[in-house]
Homo-oligomer: A and B are copies of this chain.
Amino acid sequence: MLLSGKEQVMPRYKATIAYDGTDFYGWQVQPGMRTVQLELEKAVNQMAKHPAEHIRVQGSGRTDARVHAVGQVAHFDLPFDIPADAVRKGLSTMLPYDIGIKQVEIVPETFHAQYSAHHKTYRYRLSTTEFIDPFKRNYTGHWHRRLDPALMQAAIGDYLGEHDWLSFVASGYQQKTTVRTVYRAQMWEKPADDEIWFEFSGNGFLYNQIRIMVGVLLEIGNGARPVDDIPRLFAVKDRQQACFTAPAQGLYLMSVDY
């Protein structure tokens, strides 16, 4: 039913989305670039055929080029009140195969994919073999220099809690404050796959923050940085002291919790 005039209600939809970031220039719409948001907005507008307005798709936050998502969340408003699962099926048929719609729900209009988010969880997959597996090249970071997991395990807990992450943000960040809270910081070895996985949950992450956090851990595991260096990095608040950013293709946005 098309609603119009004073009685118009635009139902709000929350979509949970997976994407293989390999062939995307990240989440955010940028002129001339293939991005996830662009593809989603094309599909939503093609489905809605709204006569006047370009419907925007609001994500929980950006992801960079080549970064993946297992559970990105976005919201959008439709001019029709159609069942959530019909929206899911409709979008699924219109989207390219490197984007998958896992779930669509109707949510109150107060829901906002970015501002309502309570915490986000990211995973970083690191491959540690000398042989660079062609099936992992787009799906893991890669490190085959010296690496002592015990050193990283001893240091990773230093990331927990509320900190000023100014030493862990790439240039180009736009946020007013660089204070964020990390609720969970874990790593585990996956010897059967020759991988190490890192997982971080927090109330928000700055531009490149997770990849720099992983980079610092790898330098600690390598012995290039002392095991107690993380508290010092928080204290110095210097973006030049943690330069190594782990490669994008190992990073996965796992979930956004509300």
- Residues of A whose CB lies within 8 Å of any CB of B are 18-20, 68, 92, 97-100, 102, 131-135, 137, 139
* A20 in complex: contacting residue of B98, B131, B137, CB < 8 Å: B137
* A135 in complex: contacting residue of B68, B102, B131, B134, CB < 8 Å: B68
Rank and list the top 10 A-B pairs by shortest CB-CB distance, nearest first. A97-B137, A20-B134, A100-B134, A98-B134, A18-B134, A20-B135, A19-B134, A100-B132, A99-B134, A100-B131
* Cα(A75)–Cα(B18), bound, Å: 41
Residues of B within 8 A of A139 (CB): 135
* Cα(A167)–Cα(B139), bound, Å: 39
Residues of B within 8 A of A68 (CB): 135
Interface centre among A19, A68, A97, A135 (most CB of B within 10 A): A135
* Cα(A167)–Cα(B20), bound, Å: 38
Residues of B within 8 A of A132 (CB): 92, 97, 100
* Cα(A133)–Cα(B18), bound, Å: 8
By beta carbon, the residue of chain B nearest A70 is B135
* Cα(A99)–Cα(B133), bound, Å: 8
Contact A98 B133 (CB under 8 A): no
* Cα(A132)–Cα(B68), bound, Å: 16
By beta carbon, the residue of chain B nearest A135 is B20
* Cα(A209)–Cα(B97), bound, Å: 27
Residues of B within 8 A of A102 (CB): 131
* Cα(A20)–Cα(B98), bound, Å: 17
Residues of B within 8 A of A99 (CB): 134
By beta carbon, the residue of chain B nearest A103 is B131
Residues of B within 8 A of A131 (CB): 100, 102
* Cα(A230)–Cα(B174), bound, Å: 64
Residues of B within 8 A of A97 (CB): 132, 134, 137
* Cα(A92)–Cα(B18), bound, Å: 32
Distance between A102 CB and nearest chain B CB, rounded to angstroms: 6
By beta carbon, the residue of chain B nearest A100 is B134
